[in-house]
Chains A and B, each alone.
Chain A
């Protein structure tokens, strides 16, 4: 495990505590300063100082973004939980964490699973037997996985493009919402890029890490990194949390080096923006597209600092009226908000964001994180789209394809 978290750089200014969303709603959480660098001093002396309340950390990284001294506060807390927190994850946590396994099974029986999971009796049952809160709306599963669709319908046509990128679709696109992946493939093809998938893709590991399954996360990380190296191309993502995991959690929290490929893994909106800016690709948008969109920055995208690319891409669309929402945590924090004991905190944290959205009265919200999407759709009652899907809705594919013809073979 990486020891160089810079905890001795903490000068006790307490600024991180201002920006911790959990501290604001839950007095049982000691806060980033005490849970992180302060506690680390004690834990290094004696692991008995480990405080179970560290489990309340959302791993949103807002403390790290605020820290003027560059201390990796979130990493310290996550690493401490992994090192000293001896509790073995139960069935519920394993189910929530194993998005790959559960997704595979659920999408095979999607027509049955979806209505059952959405039904009241099933929700009540999951609440009292597993501890998954009955008020939570479950994301629906798709009956055809994205990778299956891609191999069946899209793969063969990809080689006619001169350049090629690889797409890390993640669990959400694969099992819940293949349309987002289809949108990206369509946009890239129109822009003159062929798309391929990784030879072997596993869950990025975010839900495994946050449920204490570090060994399983490390296994996935190694498989993903090997496939990324093998691909030899830029690897695009559409989920901010997958992106942050591959770039930062692998080395910082799992101790697995990635410096040779770290810069090659980027969010699709950043890739598109940079290609448009350099003139490599041209996008033509429909003139009959109109939408008032509120953009929400997911915490992990704020940590990456790449929200500007998604915002710029949305601003590029002529008919878009964009409201940039204040950067607030939505409260779901991946699998955290699904757990019964966290539901109230989760909703309380998100309340500020929900009211910002209601005030902005958009046609829909755009954001780059799937769990933010679930939380906002459920709690603010507004439809949420990925910026990639917005671009796909607004793009004139015919004209764009012609504009980028020179890119094809």
Chain B
């Protein structure tokens, strides 16, 4: 079966990318190996939580951070378009695109967040424990929007390998569809990090199990962990190697038609930096923008 773009992974990043492309009329397929971390959604998205002004906080991000690859000004530009994107999907978000606001967490602490589901003045009980009903609803609604726009969503199927031709990925094969290939011009890898097995830790290192993309990680296992529970955990920053345009790298070479989005991109520590949702959404919009530019 043929599509314009095939997205591997079915969480927030995959859905944002897929919806953006379908909105512009590209025919997309999402292959998701199971439900996503959106089911643990707290009710607020974070872009970067280490300061009030986001653009200023970003100046302290390390080299190789996804926001640095995309370009900090571009990140802010894309951030501006996010409330409108969610409004089209039926979700009003409150908060400023360039300034954090404070929300209460379920445990009673306060944290700096970017955009919160609901209008200003809604009751401030927003922190949520897993399973988050709001997250479940958002997952279902975004999927429905993607399908209503004409996209195909394969739930509970796992991409197992890709077929490469002339330095490009030409098609992928999945568990359920066996020898029937899914072909496309562009592919987006949004399979997530360790939780969803987008990255897998093996005795010899960290690998990306579907396309065997290059992964950035510390070769010495000793350097993977911090010994204290709340210490920096270097493995959090492991991820698939990619160019500044977020094209994936395989065997040291850029794959020009495979993009990486969401937490599969290395370089970020979503817990320490409070950037999980931000990286998922911003990288998805950035990748979708490039695919659209190249297809029009």
Q: Which residue numbers of A lie inside 8 Å of B, CB to CB?
A: 11, 13-15, 17-19, 64-70, 263, 270, 273-274, 277, 302-306, 308, 312, 324, 326-327
Contact = CB atoms under 8 A, between A and B. Distances in A.
A66 B1 contact: no
Given A70-B33, A305-B156, A18 B177 contact: no
B128 interface: no
Contacts of B197: 68-70
Interface string B29-42: 00001111001100
Contacts of B158: 70
What are the 4 closest A-B residue pairs judged by CB atoms, nearest first?
A: A65-B156, A68-B34, A305-B176, A15-B35
A308 B152 contact: yes
B179 interface: yes
Contacts of B2: 277
Interface string B142-172: 0010010000101111100000000000000
Interface residues of B, number: 28
Contact of A18 (B136, B154, B155): B136
B104 interface: no
Nearest to A262: B178
A15 B39 contact: yes
Contact of B131 (A14, A273, A277, A306): A14
Contact of A277 (B1, B136, B178): B1
Contacts of B33: 68, 70
B152 to A, nearest CB: 5
Contact of A69 (B34, B130, B131, B144): B34
A207 B48 CA distance: 54
Contacts of B152: 308
Given A68-B34, A263-B178, A18 B156 contact: no
A305 B131 contact: no
Nearest to B140: A326
B156 A303 contact: yes
B155 A65 contact: yes
A13 B39 contact: yes
Given A15-B131, A17-B131, A326-B144, A306 B176 contact: yes
Given A18-B131, A277-B1, A66 B176 contact: no
Where chain A touches its partner, the secondary structure class is helix
Given A66-B156, A324-B147, A18 B35 contact: yes
B154 A308 contact: yes
A305 B177 contact: yes
A14 B130 contact: yes
Given A69-B34, A70-B158, A305-B176, 20 more contacts: A11-B195, A14-B131, A15-B35, A15-B131, A17-B131, A18-B131, A67-B34, A67-B35, A68-B35, A68-B197, A70-B33, A263-B178, A270-B180, A273-B1, A277-B2, A302-B156, A305-B157, A305-B174, A306-B177, A308-B152
B257 interface: no
A312 B174 CA distance: 18
6 contacts: A11-B195, A13-B39, A68-B33, A68-B197, A305-B157, A306-B177
A278 B219 CA distance: 46
A312 B154 CA distance: 14
Given A13-B39, A18-B39, A302-B155, A68 B180 contact: no
B156 A274 contact: no
B196 interface: yes
Contacts of A67: 34-35, 156
A15 B34 contact: yes
A65 B33 CA distance: 8
B2 to A, nearest CB: 8
Nearest to B182: A308
A68 B36 contact: yes
Contacts of B35: 15, 18-19, 66-68
B18 to A, nearest CB: 15
B141 to A, nearest CB: 11
B144 to A, nearest CB: 7
Contacts of B39: 13, 15, 18
A13 B130 contact: yes
A312 B131 CA distance: 34
A270 B130 CA distance: 38
Given A274-B180, A305-B156, A70 B144 contact: no
Interface string B70-95: 00000000000000000000000000
A54 B152 CA distance: 34
A122 B152 CA distance: 46
A404 B130 CA distance: 56
A68 B195 contact: yes
Nearest to B136: A18
Interface string B183-215: 000000000000111000000000000000000
A61 to B, nearest CB: 8
Contacts of A303: 156
A16 to B, nearest CB: 8
A252 to B, nearest CB: 13
Contacts of B130: 13-14
A22 B18 CA distance: 31
Nearest to A11: B195
Contacts of B177: 305-306
A64 to B, nearest CB: 6
Contacts of B196: 68
Contacts of A326: 144
Nearest to A69: B34
A37 to B, nearest CB: 14
A204 B36 CA distance: 34
Given A274-B180, A277-B1, A308-B154, A66 B147 contact: no
A65 B180 CA distance: 20
A372 B35 CA distance: 25
A304 B155 CA distance: 10
A65 B154 CA distance: 10
